[in-house]
Amino acid sequence: MKDVLEQAVALGKTHTHEGAVATYIPELGKVDGSQLGVSVFCRNGKRISVGDTKVRFSIQSISKIITLAVALEICGFDQVFKKVGMEPTGDPFNSLMKLENTDSSPYNPMINAGAIVVASCLASEISFDTMLDTIRALCMDPDIDLDKKVYHSEMSHISRNRAIAYLLESKGYIEKNKDVENSLHFYVKMCSLSVTAESLAGLGLILANDGIHPDTGKRLLSSQTVKIVKTLMFTCGMYDGSGEFAVRVGIPSKSGVGGGILSVVDGEMGIGIFGPALDKKGNSVAGECVLEYMSHELHLHMFDPQRHTL
Amino acid sequence: MKDVLEQAVALGKTHTHEGAVATYIPELGKVDGSQLGVSVFCRNGKRISVGDTKVRFSIQSISKIITLAVALEICGFDQVFKKVGMEPTGDPFNSLMKLENTDSSPYNPMINAGAIVVASCLASEISFDTMLDTIRALCMDPDIDLDKKVYHSEMSHISRNRAIAYLLESKGYIEKNKDVENSLHFYVKMCSLSVTAESLAGLGLILANDGIHPDTGKRLLSSQTVKIVKTLMFTCGMYDGSGEFAVRVGIPSKSGVGGGILSVVDGEMGIGIFGPALDKKGNSVAGECVLEYMSHELHLHMFDPQRHTL
Amino acid sequence: MKDVLEQAVALGKTHTHEGAVATYIPELGKVDGSQLGVSVFCRNGKRISVGDTKVRFSIQSISKIITLAVALEICGFDQVFKKVGMEPTGDPFNSLMKLENTDSSPYNPMINAGAIVVASCLASEISFDTMLDTIRALCMDPDIDLDKKVYHSEMSHISRNRAIAYLLESKGYIEKNKDVENSLHFYVKMCSLSVTAESLAGLGLILANDGIHPDTGKRLLSSQTVKIVKTLMFTCGMYDGSGEFAVRVGIPSKSGVGGGILSVVDGEMGIGIFGPALDKKGNSVAGECVLEYMSHELHLHMFDPQRHTL
Amino acid sequence: MKDVLEQAVALGKTHTHEGAVATYIPELGKVDGSQLGVSVFCRNGKRISVGDTKVRFSIQSISKIITLAVALEICGFDQVFKKVGMEPTGDPFNSLMKLENTDSSPYNPMINAGAIVVASCLASEISFDTMLDTIRALCMDPDIDLDKKVYHSEMSHISRNRAIAYLLESKGYIEKNKDVENSLHFYVKMCSLSVTAESLAGLGLILANDGIHPDTGKRLLSSQTVKIVKTLMFTCGMYDGSGEFAVRVGIPSKSGVGGGILSVVDGEMGIGIFGPALDKKGNSVAGECVLEYMSHELHLHMFDPQRHTL
Choose among C123, C126, C117, C119: nearest CA to C82: C117
Q: Give contacts of C162 with chain A, Cβ < 8 Å.
A: 163, 166
Q: Which residues of C123-142 are buried (b: 16+ CB within 10 A; e: fewer)?
A: beebeeeebbebbbbbbbbe
In this structure, how many other beta carbons lie within 10 angstroms of the beta carbon of residue B215? 9
Binding-site members of B for substrate are 61, 112, 154, 161, 187, 239, 257
Shortest alpha-carbon distance between residue C228 and chain D (Å) = 6
Q: Which strands, in side-by-side order, build the sheet including C253-255?
A: C47-51, C37-42, C269-274, C260-265, C253-255
Identify from A96, A116, A155, A174 which residue to disrupt to test chain C contact, counting C C-beta atoms within 10 A and taking the largest count: A96
Instruction: Check the CA dihedral D88-D92-D94-D96 and report its sign.
Output: negative
CATH no., domain D2-60+193-300:
3.40.710.10
Who among A90, A98, A266 is closest to B303 (CB)? A266
Rounded Cα distance between C41 and D131, Å, is 47
Of A97, A163, A166, the CB nearest to C101: A97
In this structure, CATH architecture of domain A2-60+194-298: 3-Layer(aba) Sandwich (3.40)
Residue D13, Ramachandran bin (φ over 0: left; ψ between -120 and 50: alpha; else beta): alpha
Using the beta-carbon criterion (under 8 Å), do D98 and C107 form an inter-chain contact?
no
Say what the pLDDT of residue D308 is: 60
Instruction: Note whether C243 contacts D107, CB cutoff 8 Å.
Output: yes
C97 touches chain A (CB under 8 A): yes
pLDDT of residue C93: 85
Summarize the confidence of residues A140-169 as an average pLDDT: 96
Question: How many Å lie between the alpha carbon of D34 and the closest alpha carbon of chain C?
Answer: 29
A59 to chain B, minimum CA–CA distance in Å?
24
Task: Sketch the domain layout of chain A as residue ranges.
Answer: 2-60+194-298, 62-191
Nearest to A100 among C100, C162, C165 (CB): C100
**CATH code linked to domain D63-191:** 3.40.710.10
Phi, psi of B254 (to 5 degrees): -140, 130
Confidence bin at C310 (pLDDT 50/70/90) = very low
Contact assessment for residue D285 and residue D19, using Cβ atoms and an 8 Å cutoff: yes
Quick check: C226 and D305 CB within 8 A? yes
Low-confidence ranges of chain B (pLDDT < 50): 309-310
| Local confidence band at C175 (pLDDT 50, 70, 90 cut-offs) | confident
Residue pair A200/A139 in contact (Cβ under 8 Å)? The answer is yes
- How does DSSP assign B92-143, residue by residue? -TT--HHHHHSSPPPS-TTSHHHHHHHHHHHHTTS-HHHHHHHHHHHTT-TT
Chain A partners within 8 Å of C169 (Cβ): 159, 163
Beta-bridge partner residues of D48: D40
CA dihedral C298, C303, C309, D2 (to 10 degrees): 170
Residue C209 has pLDDT above 50, yes or no: yes
Which residues in chain A touch residue B236, judged by CB atoms under 8 angstroms apart?
88, 243
CA–CA dist A204, A233 (Å, integer)? 11
Residues A58, A300, A242, B244: what is their CA dihedral angle, to the nearest 10 degrees?
-110
- Tell if the CB–CB gap between B166 and D180 is shorter than 8 Å: no
Say if the Cβ atoms of D166 and B180 lie within 8 Å.
no
C166 in Cβ contact with A159 (< 8 Å) = yes
CA distance B289 to C86: 53
**CA C201/CA C271 separation, integer angstroms:** 4
Helix (H) or strand (E) holding A101: helix A97-101
A189 belongs to the catalytic site: no
- Tell which phi-psi region holds residue A301, choosing left (phi > 0), alpha (psi between -120 and 50) or beta: beta
Catalytic annotation present for A194: no
Task: Say whether domain B2-60+194-299 belongs to CATH 3.40.710.10.
Answer: yes
What is the identity of the amino acid at A6? E
Query: Would you call D235 and C235 a contact, using CB atoms and an 8 Å cutoff?
Result: yes
Q: Do D167 and B159 touch (CB under 8 A)?
A: yes
Kindly list the residues from chain B whose CB atom is less than 8 angstroms away from the CB atom of residue D162.
163, 166
DSSP A90: S
Distance (Å, rounded) from C-alpha C310 to C-alpha D56? 40
pLDDT at B102: 79
The model's pTM is 0.94
Q: How far is C243 from chain D (nearest CA, A)?
A: 4
Assess B24–D contact: CB distance below 8 Å, yes or no: no
**Annotated binding-site residue? C161:** yes
Residue type, D75: C
What is the model's pLDDT at position A175?
84
CA distance B186 to chain D (A): 18
Kindly tell me the burial class for residue A120, based on how many C-beta atoms sit within 10 Å of its own C-beta (0-12, 13-18, 19 or more): buried
User: How many Cα atoms within 13 Å fall on the side-chain side of residue D62?
Assistant: 36
Helix (H, G, I), strand (E, B) or coil at D253: strand
CA distance D30 to chain C (A): 32
Average the pLDDT over C178-199 and give the result: 96
What is residue B41's three-state secondary structure? strand
Q: Mean pLDDT across chain A, nearest whole number?
A: 95
Tell me which of A122-126, C23-27, D100-104 is least confident.
Answer: D100-104
Half-sphere exposure of B195 (CA within 13 A, CB side): 41
Residue of C93, C159, C178 best to disrupt the A interface, most CBs of A under 10 A: C159
Please state, as a whole number, how many other Cβ atoms lie within 10 Å of the Cβ of residue A147. 22
Q: Does C240 touch chain D (CB under 8 A)?
A: yes
Residue of A nearest to B89 (CA): A90
C187 in active site: yes
Q: Which residues of B are known catalytic residues?
A: 61, 64, 187, 239, 257
CATH 1.20.1260.10: does it fit domain C2-60+193-298?
no
CB B80 within 8 A of CB B228: no
pLDDT surpasses 80 at A177:
no
CA-nearest residue to A211 within chain B is B305
Annotated binding residue A159:
no
What is residue B1's predicted lDDT score, i.e. its pLDDT? 87
The dihedral over CA atoms of C136, C138, C141, C147, expressed in degrees to the nearest 10, equals -50
B48: which strand partners? B40
- Whether residue C308 is predicted with pLDDT greater than 80 in this model: the reply is no
Report the pLDDT value the prediction gives residue B126, as an integer from 0 to 100: 96
| Residues contacting D276, CB < 8 A, separation 6+ | D21, D22, D28, D31, D32, D33, D35, D57, D258, D259, D284
Residue pLDDT tens, chain D, 310 long: 899 999 999 999 999 999 999 998 899 999 999 999 999 999 999 999 999 999 999 999 999 999 999 999 999 999 999 999 999 988 888 888 888 877 889 999 999 999 999 999 999 999 999 999 999 999 999 999 999 999 999 999 999 999 999 999 999 999 876 789 999 999 999 999 999 999 999 999 999 999 999 999 999 999 999 999 999 999 999 999 999 999 999 999 999 999 999 999 999 999 999 999 999 999 999 999 999 999 999 999 999 999 864 4
Q: Is the CB of residue A183 less than 8 Å from the CB of residue A120?
A: yes
Q: Is A155 helix (H, G, I), strand (E, B) or coil?
A: helix
CB C300 within 8 A of CB C26: no
In this complex, do D166 and B169 lie within 8 Å of one another by their Cβ atoms?
Answer: no
The answer on whether A112 is annotated among ligand-binding residues is yes
Q: At what angle do helices B223-236 and B197-208 cross, to 10 degrees?
A: 120
Q: How far apart are CA C281 and CA C61, in angstroms?
A: 13
Q: How many CB pairs under 8 A join A and B?
A: 118
Distance CA D109, CA D86 (A): 7
Q: Which residues of C touch A160 (CB under 8 A)?
A: 166-167, 170
Nearest-Cα distance to chain D for C241, in Å, is 7
Residue A187 among the catalytic residues: yes
> Does D89 contact chain B (CB < 8 Å)?
no
CATH of domain A62-191: 3.40.710.10
CA distance C273 to C59: 11
SS3 annotation, chain C: CHHHHHHHHHHHHCCHHHCECCCCCHHHHCCCCCCCEEEEEECCCCEEEEECCCCCEECHHHHHHHHHHHHHHHHCHHHHHCCCCCCCCCCCCCCCHHHHHCCCCCCCCCCHHHHHHHHHHHHCCCCHHHHHHHHHHHCCCCCCEECHHHHHHHHCCCHHHHHHHHHHHHCCCCCCCCCHHHHHHHHHHHHCEEECHHHHHHHHHHHHCCCECCCCCCECCCHHHHHHHHHHHHHHCCHHHHHHHHHHCCCCEEECCCCEEEEEECCCEEEEEECCCECCCCCEHHHHHHHHHHHHHHCCCCCCCCHHHC
What CA–CA distance (Å, rounded) separates C103 from A53? 40
D 177-236 → B contacts, CB under 8 A: 180
Cβ within 8 Å, pair D167-B95:
no
Task: List, for residues A182-204, the tens digit of each pLDDT value.
Answer: 999 999 999 999 999 999 999 99
Of B95, B97, B166, the CB nearest to D163: B166
Contacts of D68 in chain C (CB under 8 A): none
The whole-number pLDDT of residue B310 equals: 42
Question: Inter-chain contact D166–B170, Cβ cutoff 8 Å?
Answer: no
D89/C85 CB distance under 8 A: no
Same fold, D2-60+193-300 and D63-191: yes
**Radius of gyration (Cα) for chain A, nearest Å?**
18
* Chains with ≥3 CB–CB distances under 8 Å to C: A, D
- In three-state secondary structure terms, B9 is helix
Helix (H) or strand (E) segment spanning residue A70: helix A63-75
Give the separation between CA B81 and CA C193, rounded to whole angstroms.
Answer: 58
What subunits make at least 3 CB pairs under 8 angstroms with B? Answer: A, D
Of residues B4, B13, B66, B2, the one with CA closest to residue B37: B13
Which amino acid does the sequence have at A178?
A: K
| Identity of the residue in A160, A164, A170 whose CB atom sits nearest the CB atom of C160 | A170
B267: region left, alpha or beta (phi > 0 left; psi from -120 to 50 alpha): left
Q: Which residues of B46-67 are buried (b: 16+ CB within 10 A; e: fewer)?
A: ebbbbbbbebbbbbbbbbbbbb
- Which one is catalytic: A107, A173, A239, A293? A239
Which has the closest alpha carbon to D162: B180, A148, B274?
Answer: B180
Say whether the ipTM exceeds 0.90.
yes
All residues at 6 or more sequence positions from C199 whose CB lies less than 8 Å from its CB, including other chains: C139, C140, C141, C144, C272
